Chain A
Amino acid sequence: MKKVTEGLKAVAESVALCRPDVISAYPITPQTHIVEELAQIVADGKLKCEFINVESEFSAASTVLGASAAGARAYTATSSQGLLLMMEVLYNMAGMRLPVVITDANRAVSAPINIWSDWQDAITVRDAGLIMMYAEDNQDCCDMHYQAFKIAEDPEVQLPVMVNMDGFILTHAFDPIDFPSQADIDKYLPKFKPLDFLSANNPRSFGLMGGPDRYLETRYAMAETFKSITPVILKAADDFKKMFGRYSGGMIEEYRMEDAETVLVSMGSTISDLKEAVDTMREKGKKIGVLKIRILRPYPAAEIKQALSRCKRVICVEKAISLGGPGILAAELKSAIYSNANKPEVSNFIIGLGGRDVKQDHIFELVEKAEKGVCETEFIGLDMKLVEEMDK
């Protein structure tokens, strides 16, 4: 059944369909409507669940960590400063192999304080050991949540999954959303059966100290797990399609790339902007396409390497920056294609930080620039008058 719903509320409804046992989250723009909506769903008795109000995101993450360790299906959501406050817990949660699902409404990080969208928050925790999914639109985002629990809880995975949705651009957009029925979701996502959990009937110790004699092996096991997650992610989408008729999946997605000489690479809602620009440029005869990175972790290196084996030029369009370092998407992408016989030139551009509008003209501009020569971490869409004023 399709229903026009705001992005955040759609996520809240989708999460409720997954029947989490414990939810704990803390309000922060632009994520807040998720917590509020879930609180209401629980208050109305529509979902039997422990909804825990906490005094910080740090405690929200810790609460779901404890709940998951005790065998519950657990969920939290946050954004920006809140995500960074959770960071220590996220590493711990992943290291303890706890299958929590987390939604991040992607937002800029202070200073200056800014509530609008970019990817800096989640990019900062990309090494924590979370599976990281990026939604292009709100239907995709809802479908990702059903799949996220399935992937996280898979006996071969046992890791937290983070679903990323661009702040405001997706979180506050109203779209017709197709919600599955509770009965169907119950079939797709049966009750959580934890492998190991805290129990008085099996009194084991969780979270032991691992010295130099054992720490390396735990990290090795995590790294190995990440190598074997892709089939689980693909299967979750295939199963979903069998049941619900639509395919929301894949590690990457190629758009008009068949004969493309230039490929724009990005994530999240920016993909929609790029697709629109590509359509325009195609009309003018430019051989250009888009590559969407749907799953950032595990990084789909093989898929990217294959997809970029024919083009001449790659342009990474990024909404986050590693200050003093190379473009984040570009650096990872370069390493993925390094062994290709055909090495396209790789440019990267920083756009849209802190909610700055990404206009179609910006996309045309960056393509033009890249065609003239390789660009490294170049900013697009700057107000140069303001930059000059700042120097005075």
Chain B
Amino acid sequence: MTTQTAENVKLFNSGHTACAGCGLALAARLVLQATGPKVIVVNATGCLEVFTTRSPQTAWGIPWIHSLFENQAAVATGVEAALRALGRGDEARVIAWGGDGASADIGFGGISGMWERYDDVLYICYDNEAYMNTGIQRSGLTPFKGHTSTSPAGKVSLGNMKQKKNIPAIAVAHGLPYVATATVAYPKDLERKVKKAMEVRGPRYLQILVPCPLGWGHATSDTISMSKLAVETGLNPLFEYIDGKLATAMTVKQKPVEEYLKPQSRFKHLFRDAAGAEQIKLIQEIANSNFAKFKVEAVK
């Protein structure tokens, strides 16, 4: 029986209502496994918030707060300031997280403010590449030519017109001591990066790519393989910037982007005709340039 007892309540618990195969639910557990219990988490509105906390239940085993869609950074600032003011600085570290929409779009001003203030907060953007909670609308991190309900592929359009906004580069430009990308297919790498981020004081940024079977349109069992292919194709390079310098980048054998695009229905319009094939070439170029930039050996 799984009644709730002190032993079986974990930092992140089962019984949440994420879709089957949700990469985000996996990421949340992996992150907390790496941080341990001495954290306070501020969560923006979005899938993670909704599927973990339906009153009166919560999947969290750490202190957690949700306020709004776009104020997670400032709320985290307030929590962190309160801990300091009350002499509880050693009690916990503060983590703020939000989706790609909360992070790259609506909440970005607040995040930039928090980075500039140099608050001791680890900011995690979990990137499922669209507004999933509200039914798959595009965000600033929706990939080039991805179909979403507000960047639909149609007779004259082939999906999202813009490339992903480069938040890690913007984070580095803010002078953050630690900026990294990760994804769920590499849990050891993710764990190491979270731990590394927790060793650093000041603002830190971690962007975790989390496949979303519902929004991406892949089989629920393919969550890990999609995550892996995103890296292997070069579309989602994994790297770390420490004190503004590229410190590590994962080296992988490059695979063609089709292998990643094909199993996902959000790209199926690219496989219909010559116009689509042209777009795939452009996506391959994005991957190639990422590859050229980040195919570097780990710098010690």
Point out residues on A near B: beta carbons under 8 Å.
Answer: 21-22, 24, 48-50, 52-56, 58-72, 74, 88-89, 92, 96, 198-211, 214
Kindly identify which residue among A69, A200, A205 contacts B58, using a CB–CB cutoff of 8 Å. A205
Check A89/B91 contact, CB under 8 A, given A62-B74, A65-B75, A209-B54.
no
In the bound complex, how far is the Cα of B87 from the Cα of A72, in angstroms?
Answer: 11
| Distance to closest chain B CB from A98 (angstroms) | 10
Interfacial chain A residues near B53, Cβ < 8 Å: 205, 207-209
A205 B65 Cβ-Cβ under 8 A: yes
B81 A67 Cβ-Cβ under 8 A: yes
Kindly identify which residue among A54, A204, A214 contacts B74, using a CB–CB cutoff of 8 Å. A54
Kindly identify which residue among B40, B52, B112 contacts A55, using a CB–CB cutoff of 8 Å. B112
In the bound complex, how far is the Cα of B60 from the Cα of A67, in angstroms?
Answer: 20
A203 B37 Cβ-Cβ under 8 A: yes
In the bound complex, how far is the Cα of B78 from the Cα of A49, in angstroms?
Answer: 12
Check A70/B58 contact, CB under 8 A, given A22-B82, A202-B63.
no
B77 A63 Cβ-Cβ under 8 A: yes
Interface residue range, chain B: 35 or more
B85 A63 Cβ-Cβ under 8 A: no
In the bound complex, how far is the Cα of B63 from the Cα of A89, in angstroms?
Answer: 21
In the complex, chain B residues 68-91 whose Cβ is within 8 Å of any chain A Cβ: 68, 70-71, 73-86, 88, 91
In the bound complex, how far is the Cα of B64 from the Cα of A199, in angstroms?
Answer: 9
Interfacial chain B residues near A88, Cβ < 8 Å: 68
Whether B56 is near chain A, meaning CB under 8 Å from some CB there, is yes
In the bound complex, how far is the Cα of B91 from the Cα of A201, in angstroms?
Answer: 8
A204 B78 Cβ-Cβ under 8 A: no
Complex interface bits, B86-102 against A, C-beta within 8 A gives 1, otherwise 0? 10100110000000000
A210 B55 Cβ-Cβ under 8 A: yes
Point out residues on B near A: beta carbons under 8 Å.
Answer: 37-40, 42, 49-50, 52-56, 58, 60-68, 70-71, 73-86, 88, 91-92, 109-110, 112-113, 116-117
Interfacial chain B residues near A21, Cβ < 8 Å: 82, 85-86
Check A56/B109 contact, CB under 8 A, given A67-B78, A88-B68.
yes
B65 A207 Cβ-Cβ under 8 A: yes
In the bound complex, how far is the Cα of B130 from the Cα of A266, in angstroms?
Answer: 50
In the bound complex, how far is the Cα of B58 from the Cα of A341, in angstroms?
Answer: 52
Interfacial chain B residues near A89, Cβ < 8 Å: 67-68, 71
Interfacial chain B residues near A68, Cβ < 8 Å: 78, 82
A66 B79 Cβ-Cβ under 8 A: yes
Check A66/B75 contact, CB under 8 A, given A55-B113, A205-B60.
yes
29 residue pairs A–B, Cβ–Cβ below 8 Å: A21-B82, A22-B82, A24-B81, A48-B85, A49-B85, A54-B74, A54-B117, A55-B113, A58-B71, A62-B75, A66-B76, A67-B82, A69-B79, A70-B79, A198-B64, A198-B79, A199-B88, A200-B39, A200-B92, A203-B37, A203-B63, A205-B52, A205-B58, A205-B60, A205-B64, A205-B66, A206-B64, A206-B65, A207-B66
Task: Please name the residue on chain B nearest to A199 by beta carbon.
Answer: B63
Q: Which of A48, A53, A55 has the most CB of B within 10 A?
A: A55
A63 B74 Cβ-Cβ under 8 A: yes
In the bound complex, how far is the Cα of B88 from the Cα of A317, in angstroms?
Answer: 49
Task: Please name the residue on chain B nearest to A52 by beta carbon.
Answer: B81
A208 B78 Cβ-Cβ under 8 A: no
